[in-house]
Amino acid sequence: MSKLETITIDTPSGSNTMQIGSTNTATINLGASGDTINIPAGATIANAGTATGFGEDQTPAFKAYRTGNFSLPDSTATKIPFNDDSSTGFYDTDSKYDATTNYRFTPGVAGKYLVQAALALDSASNASALQCQIRKNGTVRLNSSVTQDYYNNAIVCGVVVLGTTDYIEVYGHQNSGGALNINPHDVYTYFSAHRLIGV
């Protein structure tokens, strides 16, 4: 193994392609820990392979739902315990959603998050209104209200800025005059979020 020390590597006159590595090469390392590799303005990085390790995916991300009925009391905003984030079609990429105790998402990574939630009541009895609230650190940040009928769900969606220790939860509110069950079907009732990249 030898070491080449130089300032500039360039192609000969008349050639515009440089090949680094050939048939005997399995891994090409650029720089060492602590180095900065600069890509100048106007340069283009063309990728025809697989890019890994850059961290530009939309995580942390999760989607959760209820596995059974939950009684939503009359005229009282109540946190909805979405207690499953592991069934088929549901996920928690970084284990940042608490599906067992506090039923909240604490991202651990600061950023802007697209947050969605939906609630439906499992009853043919009408309520004057069903509200679905997304709360950040206990304060309502997003709210949706719908005149409730059988399987008519309230859906809320928006962007919430979260710090590493901020948390979001879903609250429901209905005023039918008595307690009503939240419909546990994952098509009607769910809670999800993912981090937005480049905004």
Tens-binned pLDDT, residue by residue, of the chain (199 aa)? 677 778 888 788 877 777 777 777 667 777 778 778 788 887 777 776 666 666 567 899 999 999 988 999 999 999 999 998 887 778 999 999 999 999 999 999 999 999 999 998 876 555 568 899 999 999 999 999 887 665 678 999 999 999 999 999 999 999 888 898 888 888 889 999 999 987 7
Give 29's contacts (C-beta < 8 A, 6+ positions apart): none
Tokens representing 123 are: 């009853």
Q: How far apart are CA 52 and CA 46, in angstroms?
A: 14
How far apart are the C-alpha atoms of 196 and 111, rounded to whole Å? 7
CB distance 80 to 64 below 8 Å: no
Strands 111-119 and 154-162: antiparallel
Rounded-to-integer distance, Cα 182 and Cα 105, Å: 20
Omega cis (within 30) before 60: yes
pLDDT for position 111: 95
- What is the enclosing helix (H) or strand (E) of 172? strand 168-174
Whether the CB-CB separation of 133 and 168 falls below 8 Å is answered with: no
Q: pLDDT at position 1, please?
A: 61
Q: Tally the residues of the chain.
A: 199
Cβ-based neighbour number of residue 151 at 10 Å:
14
Q: Which amino acid would we find at residue 32?
A: A
Listed by start position, the domains of the chain span 61-195
Cβ–Cβ under 8 Å, residues 66 and 189:
yes
What's the CA gap between 133 and 79, in Å, rounded? 9
Alpha carbon distance 157, 56 (integer Å): 23
Write down the pLDDT at residue 159.
97
Q: pTM for this one?
A: 0.73
Task: Name the fold adopted by 61-195.
Answer: Jelly Rolls (2.60.120)
Q: What is the pLDDT of residue 32?
A: 78
